[in-house]
Amino acid sequence: MAGETLQIQTPDGAFSAYVAKPAQTPAPAIVVLQEIFGVNKVMRDICDDYAAKGYLAVCPDLFWRIEPGVDITDQSEAEWKKAFELMNAFDPDQGVRDIRAVIDQVRGSADCNGKVGAVGFCLGGLLAFTTATRTDADACVSFYGVGIEQRTGEAERLAHPLLMHIAEEDQFVPKPAQDLILKALKNHPQIEIHTYPGRDHAFARKGGEHYHEADAQRAQQRTDAFFKQHLG
């Protein structure tokens, strides 16, 4: 599937987003929130998969304020070093404001039917959580978000559903952090949480060191059902 590029307008300038369109529009949209490797093939493939399922999929370049056009992998030490440098320089609060601009622009486009969800992975998993608490996205999904335990109080703001996938052996979200998240959020009426025993961070990243096909498929099936319910 050939993707397109969309320019997202903000008061500070414009930034790009990868767009995969479904066969029929207008359609519900899903904003795909990147890992720390930028808008790379993994993210573009995720967009293409959602487009094949009938969604307008958009993956914004959230590192644009630091370095536009980041497209690296998890396959070398040098790329990991760069990825962590980008993550450390990234302002997640500004990132959510940029995501809000994406949601507003996509929702108003002719290709969107007005429904907009978001799904994020790793850094994007944290951003999916804060997108749920700080924007009017209709439904959000967080895959192994890093740092959510520091922001659980924001769940008071939730007006729309949130689905969370937590890897029980996540090296970046240790057990005490998971316990804080579960204690604070597991009984929230807008939140659905699934944990995955034995899984490490990024268990759903195809080609990644910790990829686990069965649990990746299980998490995706739950995500598909969630989006069908709330965006369909």
> What are the residue numbers of the active site?
170, 201
> And the tokens for 213?
């096909």
Q: Identify which of 47, 37, 42 has the alpha carbon closest to the alpha carbon of residue 17.
A: 47
Phi and psi based region of residue 194 (left: phi greater than 0; alpha: psi -120 to 50; beta: remaining): beta
Report helix, strand or coil for 99: helix
Question: What does DSSP say about strands 112-121 and 162-167: parallel, antiparallel, or unpaired?
Answer: unpaired
Q: What sign does the CA torsion over 192, 127, 223, 200 have?
A: negative
- Tell how far CA 159 is from the center of its chain: 18
Task: In whole angstroms, give the CA distance from residue 121 to residue 165.
Answer: 10
